[in-house]
Amino acid sequence: MSRKVLGIDIRKESVSAVLVKTSLRESRVAAHAHVTLSDSVEDENPFKTALETLRAEIDTEGCDCVVSISADHFSYRILQIPFKDSKKIKMVLPFELEPTVPYPVEDLIIDFIDLESAGHNDHTDVIAVAVPNSQLTPYIRTLGAIKIDPTMITLSGLPAALCLANQAEAGKDQLFLKVDKALSTLFIASNGGIKLIRSFPTPVTGDARAGSLGAFVRRTVSAFGELSQSEYQPPDMVVTGSGLNGANFDADVSRFLDLPVKRLNFADHLSIPIEGEPNKLWDPALMDNALALALMEIEGIRGLNFHKGRFAAKKIIAKYKKYIIKTGILAASVLALLLFNVIAESYTLNRQIDRFNRQITGIFKETFPDVKRIVDPFQQMQIKVQEVKKSAVFQTATTSQILSIDILDNISKSIAESITVDITRMVISPDNVIISGTTGTFEAVDDIKSKLEKIDAFKKVTINSTNKDRSGKEIRFQMKVAL
Domain 3-319 CATH (choose: 3.90.1170.30, 3.40.228.10, 1.20.1050.10, 3.30.420.380): 3.30.420.380
Domain boundaries, the chain: 3-319, 327-369+373-388, 393-482
Most confidently predicted of 306-310, 366-370, 424-428? 424-428
Average pLDDT over residues 284-313: 84
Fold category of 393-482 in CATH: Gyrase A; domain 2 (3.30.1360)
Task: Give the closest residue to 267 by CA, choosing from 26, 4, 1, 69.
Answer: 26
- The span from the CA of 406 to the CA of 425, in Å, is 17
Environment class of 237 (CB within 10 Å of its CB; exposed 0-12, middle 13-18, buried 19+): buried
| Rounded (5°) CA angle 446-452-457 | 155
- Cβ neighbours of residue 70 under 8 Å, at least 6 residues apart? 10, 11, 12, 155, 156, 180, 182, 183
Task: Check pLDDT > 50 for residue 399.
Answer: no
pLDDT in tens, 110-164: 999 998 765 566 788 999 999 999 999 999 999 989 888 899 999 999 999 999 9
Confidence of residue 396 (pLDDT cuts 50, 70, 90): very low
Which region among 57-61, 140-144, 297-301, 370-374 has the lowest average model confidence (pLDDT)?
370-374
pLDDT in tens, 376-395: 888 888 888 887 777 655 54
- Return the higher-pLDDT residue of 230 and 92: 92
